[in-house]
């Protein structure tokens, strides 16, 4: 590892990309721009992360499905705002073999139009509701800017999209709040701090009534959108003619919402907890939690190795995901290798440890060495992992808080943004003022900050930062990916 400080703005993407390859997570050298390959170690990480989110959603009634990748042009064009926004960035399928197709297809950029056609066939009565489904698929967007592995791609991997339909606006609104709760729980489980905002009108999901977004802050001070929740109202149900008969006999369009996350969650996980030696995985997510490394010494080779084996077996029996590295490499080379893989704990066993009936535990995050009695191995490992995780979360949260600054003037805003911060400001709520402000400070208004119940946060200053008129809301502004 070339010791690239992750705080360094210019070298940030160098650090990140090096980690993806060297830790064997994701290989982006595939010869199609903006695509990549999940490697076995990365895939296992991805599985662990997404299985928790699946579990959270299944608990509240979501069922997993799988829709086709191809969407016929006429379906794609049904919701006008949606198509206007996505049209420029979709991949078209226009030929089948040598023949031009009469009916063109798009490769799904997201699945509303594919799913809601089927909803119109499935839903007839209020008793068919609520309908709650999700799928984990790849989606395609013809990205014209520079692409980056996992956070700006043409084939977006691991798009975890959830869609639901309800009989009333009220139930639908409640589901939006429930989805926000689910994501809060999910990101907290990963130790990824987030700001929740309501996206401005000009930046909401095309076809939505409104969009709630989760953004995190990367080590270089840029924000990364990692989850969104959209209230679609009846916009899509009207376009796709999804109607049900209600208990009072009347027929009405259903109310819909959807929410999604993508491989960006992995980008956040790697960069937020990582350091100059590589990633540091939360113990409950790490594909390998503990590596046992024998430190051979002349005359003690057999003893050391047999002790290492018994320690490894004891850990394995206690349910830890662990490996024994008894390869012929030097201990130093092994430290380097497993640090780079983000393995939370390393246990070293040398002649001195054997003499004293101890083992040496090394924490990946602090590289702190802790010597414990061998008979207390399991309890010490559990305790160390718990303490480590608690401190990792605290560290991430403290860093996050230190990166958000409230400002009152354009000059203060520019200065804070240039210093790699995300800013809070007071705003009037006027769209034209917002768009001008974005241009003046060369940054993006993420949205109006909201609390858990989606109530907008009030302005902390009486004057709008953009136009000087009376301020209503607190907004969050960032240089974003």
- Enumerate binding residues for Zn ion (CB under 5 A): 428, 433, 464, 466-467
Phi-psi group of 429: left, alpha or beta (phi > 0 → left; psi -120 to 50 → alpha; rest → beta): left
The CB-of-443 to Zn ion minimum distance in angstroms stands at 15
Cis bond upstream, residue 130 (ω within 30): yes
Report DSSP state, residue 269. H
The CB-of-411 to Zn ion minimum distance in angstroms stands at 16
Comparing CB distances to Zn ion, the nearer of 1 and 433 is 433
Tell me how many degrees the CA angle 412-414-417 measures, rounded to the nearest 5.
Answer: 105
Q: How far is CA 253 from CA 110, 165, 210, 238, 270, in A?
A: 22, 10, 18, 6, 43
Q: Which residues contact 238 (CB under 8 A, 6 or more apart)?
A: 253
Comparing CB distances to Zn ion, the nearer of 378 and 410 is 410
Comparing CB distances to Zn ion, the nearer of 306 and 436 is 436
The CB-of-461 to Zn ion minimum distance in angstroms stands at 12
* 398 SS3 class: helix
The CB-of-418 to Zn ion minimum distance in angstroms stands at 22
What gap in Å lies between CA 25 and CA 373, rounded to an integer?
Answer: 35
The CB-of-225 to Zn ion minimum distance in angstroms stands at 24
What gap in Å lies between CA 426 and CA 210, rounded to an integer?
Answer: 21
Q: What is the dihedral of CA 272, 274, 280, 286, to 10 degrees?
A: 50
Tell me how many degrees the CA angle 414-398-10 measures, rounded to the nearest 5.
Answer: 50
The string of DSSP codes covering 354-381 is: HHTTEEEEEETTT--EEEEEGGGHHHHH
What gap in Å lies between CA 255 and CA 272, rounded to an integer?
Answer: 37
Comparing CB distances to Zn ion, the nearer of 378 and 433 is 433
Q: Nearest-CA neighbor of 309 among 295, 321, 287, 326?
A: 326
Comparing CB distances to Zn ion, the nearer of 404 and 433 is 433
Comparing CB distances to Zn ion, the nearer of 418 and 431 is 431
What gap in Å lies between CA 386 and CA 392, rounded to an integer?
Answer: 10
The CB-of-198 to Zn ion minimum distance in angstroms stands at 17
Comparing CB distances to Zn ion, the nearer of 306 and 470 is 470
Comparing CB distances to Zn ion, the nearer of 144 and 462 is 462
Comparing CB distances to Zn ion, the nearer of 213 and 464 is 464
The CB-of-467 to Zn ion minimum distance in angstroms stands at 3
Comparing CB distances to Zn ion, the nearer of 93 and 433 is 433
The CB-of-466 to Zn ion minimum distance in angstroms stands at 4
What gap in Å lies between CA 390 and CA 151, rounded to an integer?
Answer: 27
The CB-of-410 to Zn ion minimum distance in angstroms stands at 12
Is the distance from CB of 128 to CB of 20 less than 8 angstroms?
Answer: no
Q: Which residues pair with 28 in a beta bridge?
A: none
The CB-of-162 to Zn ion minimum distance in angstroms stands at 35
């Amino acid at each position: 590892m070339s010791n690239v400080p992750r705080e360094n703005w210019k070298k940030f993407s160098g650090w990140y990309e090096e980690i993806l390859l060297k830790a064997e997570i994701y290989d982006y050298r595939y010869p199609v721009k903006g695509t990549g390959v999940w490697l076995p170690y990365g895939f296992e990480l991805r599985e662990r992360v997404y299985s928790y989110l699946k579990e959270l959603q299944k608990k509240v009634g979501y069922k997993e499905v799988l829709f086709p990748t191809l969407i016929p042009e006429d379906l794609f064009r049904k919701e006008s705002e949606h198509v206007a926004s996505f049209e420029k960035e979709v991949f078209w399928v226009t030929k089948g073999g040598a023949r031009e197709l009469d009916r063109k297809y798009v490769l799904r950029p997201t699945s509303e139009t594919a799913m809601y056609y089927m909803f119109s066939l499935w839903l007839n009565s209020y008793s068919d509701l609520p309908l709650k489904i999700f799928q984990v698929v790849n989606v395609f967007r013809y990205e014209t800017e520079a692409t980056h592995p996992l956070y700006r791609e043409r084939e977006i991997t691991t798009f975890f999209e959830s869609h639901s339909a309800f009989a009333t606006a009220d139930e639908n609104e409640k589901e939006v709040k429930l989805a926000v709760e689910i994501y809060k729980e999910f990101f907290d489980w990963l130790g990824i701090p987030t700001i929740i905002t309501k996206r401005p009108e000009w930046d909401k999901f095309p076809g939505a009534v409104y969009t709630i977004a989760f953004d995190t802050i990367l080590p270089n001070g840029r924000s990364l959108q990692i989850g969104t929740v959209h209230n679609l109202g009846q916009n899509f149900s009207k376009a796709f003619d999804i109607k049900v008969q209600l208990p009072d006999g009347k027929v009405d369009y259903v109310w819909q919402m959807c929410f999604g996350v993508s491989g960006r969650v992995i980008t956040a996980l790697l960069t937020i907890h990582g350091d100059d030696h590589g990633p540091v995985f939360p113990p409950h997510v790490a594909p390998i939690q503990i590596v046992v490394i024998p430190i051979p010494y002349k005359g003690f080779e057999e003893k050391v190795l047999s002790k290492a084996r018994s320690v490894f077996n004891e850990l394995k029996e206690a349910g830890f995901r662990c490996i024994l590295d008894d390869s012929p490499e030097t201990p130093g080379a092994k430290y380097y290798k497993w640090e780079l893989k983000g393995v939370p704990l390393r246990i070293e066993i040398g002649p001195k440890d054997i003499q004293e009936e101890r083992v040496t535990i090394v924490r990946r995050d602090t590289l702190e060495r802790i010597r414990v009695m061998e008979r207390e191995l399991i309890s010490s490992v559990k305790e160390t992992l718990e303490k480590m995780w608690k401190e990792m979360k605290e560290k991430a949260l403290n860093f996050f808080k230190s990166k958000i600054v409230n400002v009152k003037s354009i000059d203060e805003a520019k200065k804070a943004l240039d210093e790699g911060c995300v800013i809070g400001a007071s705003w009037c709520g006027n769209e034209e003022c917002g768009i001008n402000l974005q241009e003046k400070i060369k940054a993006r208004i993420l949205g109006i900050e909201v609390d858990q119940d989606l109530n907008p946060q009030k302005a902390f200053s009486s004057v709008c930062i953009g136009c000087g008129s009376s301020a209503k809301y607190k907004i969050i502004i960032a240089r974003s990916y």
